[in-house]
Amino acid sequence: MTEQRRFRGNQRRVTAYIGLGSNEGDRVGYIQQAVQLLKDIGKIKVLECSSLYETEPIGDEYTDWFVNAVLVVETELTCEELLDVLKDIESRLEQMNKANEPKGYRPEKRSGRVRFIDLDILFFGNEVLETSYLHIPHPRVHRRAFALVPLLEIAPDLVHPSLNKTVATLHEELPEPEQVFLYGTRRPDECHG
């Protein structure tokens, strides 16, 4: 980051799980850039990143397939400060994308919503938090294969603090999970979307 931020921070280091997703342009590149920007924050230490997964869009809001991953970080930031960092990174990557568009470029009309990068706090230690703008754990993490499959890879025994179930159990209990493929293995002619 260009300017030095002043963070209040925690008295302790917390392990947090961050979901990353992109459904537009260089999807893998946006995720890689977001991870690098997180590594550049002094009070965040990136511990591990899951593999990349290509995931089916959910509902009518999105039409293009996503690339998703989950990042494990250790941080001294508060949950709110971490959220601010994530929103800042989303904004910066979107602005960078707009700055790199050719002059006069008009994207084709699309039927679905575009996310160059989407960063969500899935878990923040064992905290359970509900404010007007922040819900921890993420309120839909237990219903989303695109979050649970990468979590299953790196933290299958992680326990959801509200539901008191492991990631592995939550994944097994998904009634109708969306399709999730290890990145590069999906054959579009074999699946809808």
For 39-50, the pLDDT digits (tens) are: 999 899 999 999
Q: What are the tokens at 4?
A: 């030095």
Burial class (CB in 10 A: 0-12, 13-18, 19+), 142: buried
Predicted TM-score (pTM) of this structure = 0.86
pLDDT at 77: 95
Q: Give the pLDDT of the chain (193 residues) as one tens digit per residue.
A: 434 455 665 668 999 999 999 998 899 999 999 999 999 998 999 999 999 999 998 877 777 899 999 999 999 999 999 999 999 999 999 888 776 665 554 555 444 567 789 999 999 999 999 998 899 999 999 999 999 999 999 999 999 999 999 999 999 999 999 999 999 998 876 555 4
Q: In angstroms, how far is CA 18 from the centroid of its own chain? A: 5
Angle CA 47–51–56, to nearest 5 = 130
What are the pLDDT digits (tens) for 77-107? 999 999 999 999 999 998 887 766 655 545 5
Q: Where are the beta strands (DSSP E) in 113-191?
A: 118-124, 129-130, 135-136, 159-160, 165-166, 180-182
Q: Does the domain spanning 14-190 belong to CATH 3.30.70.560?
A: yes
Residue 97: per-residue pLDDT: 75
What is residue 191's predicted lDDT score, i.e. its pLDDT? 57
Show Cβ contacts of residue 31 under 8 Å, excluding neighbours closer than 6 positions. Answer: 20, 21, 22, 52, 67, 69, 117
Q: Do residues 148 and 141 touch, judged by C-beta distance below 8 A?
A: yes
